[in-house]
Amino acid sequence: MTATDLTAGRRPMARADVADWLAERGVYVGLLLLIAFNLAFTPRFADADNIRLQFVQVVPVAIIALGMALVIGTKGIDLSVGSVMAISSALLALFLGYGPVVAIVIALVGGAAVGLLNGVLISYFGIQPIVATLALLVGGRGLALVIAQGRLTEVFDPVLATIGSDRLVGIPIVVLIAVGVAVVVAVLVTRTTFGRYVVAIGGNADASFLAGVPLRRTLLSVYVLSGVLAALAGIVQTARLSASDPSFVGNLIELSAITAVVVGGTPLSGGRVRILGTLAGAMLMQLIGATLISHNLPDSATRMVQAAIILGAVFIQRQRTQA
């Protein structure tokens, strides 16, 4: 086997270049175009209230997408995030009697536990990420429903209410939480050993192993982190809605999160993590929905358009990695 054999079978350059460009910059261009369109055609788009609303609504997806970006960076996937959101929401409602701090901590620990289970199945038992997290996607929501006994619980708590709807210097607290998470994840990715290990494993797991990268520990941490962030998203969502509804919270959010990551230029094949792109991807999907709704297109149309965009984004990524 000649080392150079790998470069054989090259596709036409132009197609790869277009795909490359789109994958790298497409999300920002799309975002700008969408904003321009809305400024021109959507009444009251630039109002402070509307802008605030868009940011608040994108928070859960953005937080989960940041964890998902790390997971995808290792060439993995986490399908259980929506169920984790539901579990965390149910735990929060259940333990609120012991005070908000205890409840929040328990909800986060619940998310970490699911992430740990994912991580153990993947890194120690060698189960494929999609399979392991699928099992928890199935069982997780059931568990959440069992915890909540299938009911919607209204959540009245001053601390949670503050988190959910108050502002700090005009910025909603939930948005500040998301910004905080983004900064932490960005620091992790760019400034820490852990971040290097994540992209190294995704880029070439065999070479990473030979270079002494702690594969298992890193993978385990990534899935735990993804679980904790999903739980945080569940808490934020519960606080914002003042209600815990385990049968709906986080439904299909794994799809939105994966889309945000992929649209943001992180390839599903791993080896890269793009934080800003991921956030822009989440915002793009949020604005597409908002735009369609404000132009009186029904929710169903939004879903169909989103589905088409997901397929388009993955298709472009695919063209790029084949080149």
Partner 1 sequence: MSEEKADAPSATVLEAEEVSKRFAGVVALDGVSFALRPGEVHALVGENGAGKSTLIKVLTGVYQPDHGRILYRGDPVTFARPLDAQAAGISTIYQEVNLIPLLSVARNLFLGREPTNRLGLIDFRRMHRDARAVLERYGISVDVGRPLRELGLGVQQMVAIARAVSADHRVVFMDEPTSSLEPREVKRLFDVVDLLRRDGVAVVYVSHRLEEVFRLCDRVTVLRDGRLVHTGAVADISRLELVSRMLGRAVADVARARTRFNDRHTDKRSQAILRATDLTRRHVLDHVSVEARAGEVVGLAGLLGSGRSETAKAIYGAQALDGGTVEVQGSPLRLGSPRAALSAGLALIPEDRKAEGIIPSLSVRDNIVLAALPAMSRLGFVSERQQDAVVRPLIARLRIKASSPDQKVSELSGGNQQKVLLARVLCLEPRILILDDPTRGIDVGAKAEIQTLISELADQGMSMLLISSELEEVVEGSDAIVVLRDGAVVGRLGPEEVNQEAVMSLIASAGHQAEGPAPSGGTDAGANTHDGD
Partner 2 sequence: MTTTTGDGDPASIAIADPDQAERAANRRERVAAVLQRAGAFVVLVVVTVLASLIFGTRFASVDNFRNILEASSFLGLVAVGMTFVIVGGGIDLSVGSLLALAAVLAAYGSQYGSLVAIALPLGVCGLIGLINGLLIARARMAAFIVTLATLLFARGMAFAVSNEGNTIFHVREDLAVTWLGQGSVAGLPVPIIIAGVALLLGWVVLTRTRYGIAVTAIGSSEDAARLMGLPIARVKTVMYLVSGLLAGLAGLLVAARSASGQSTIGVGFELQAIAAVVIGGTLLTGGFGSMAGTLAGVLLLNVINNVINQVGTLSSYFQQVVSGLFLVIVVLVQRYLSREQRL
Q: How far apart are CA 51 and CA 72, in angstroms?
A: 30
As given in the structure block, the two tokens for residue 116 are 């740990």
142 binds, among partner 1, partner 2, none (CB under 5 to 8 A by kind): partner 2
Least Å distance between CB 199 and partner 1? Answer: 6
The residues that bridge with 153 in the sheet, in sequence order, are: 244
Q: Which of residues 141-200 bind partner 2 (CB under 8 A)?
A: 141-143, 145-146, 149-150
Residue 116: which region, alpha, beta or left (left: phi > 0; alpha: psi -120 to 50)? alpha
Is there a contact between 246 and 234 (Cβ–Cβ < 8 Å)?
Answer: no
**Region of 126-134, 175-183, 206-214, 216-224 interacting with partner 2 (CB under 8 A):** 126-134
- Count the site residues for partner 1 by CB under 8 A: 31
- 203 binds partner 2 per the rule CB under 8 A: no
- 12 binds partner 1 per the rule CB under 8 A: no
Nearer to partner 1, 75 or 141 (CB): 75
| 3-state SS record for 56-80 | HHHHHHHHHHHHHHHHHHCCCCCCC
- In angstroms, the first-to-last Cα distance of the chain is 21
- 42 binds partner 1 per the rule CB under 8 A: no
Q: Pattern 185-204, binding to partner 1, x per CB under 8 A?
A: ------xxxx-xx-xx-xxx
- 49 binds partner 1 per the rule CB under 8 A: no
Residue 44: which region, alpha, beta or left (left: phi > 0; alpha: psi -120 to 50)? left
Q: How many residues does the chain have?
A: 323
- 229 binds partner 2 per the rule CB under 8 A: no
- 212 binds partner 1 per the rule CB under 8 A: yes
In the complex, which residues of this chain contact partner 1 (CB under 8 A)?
1-8, 191-194, 196-197, 199-200, 202-204, 206-214, 270-272
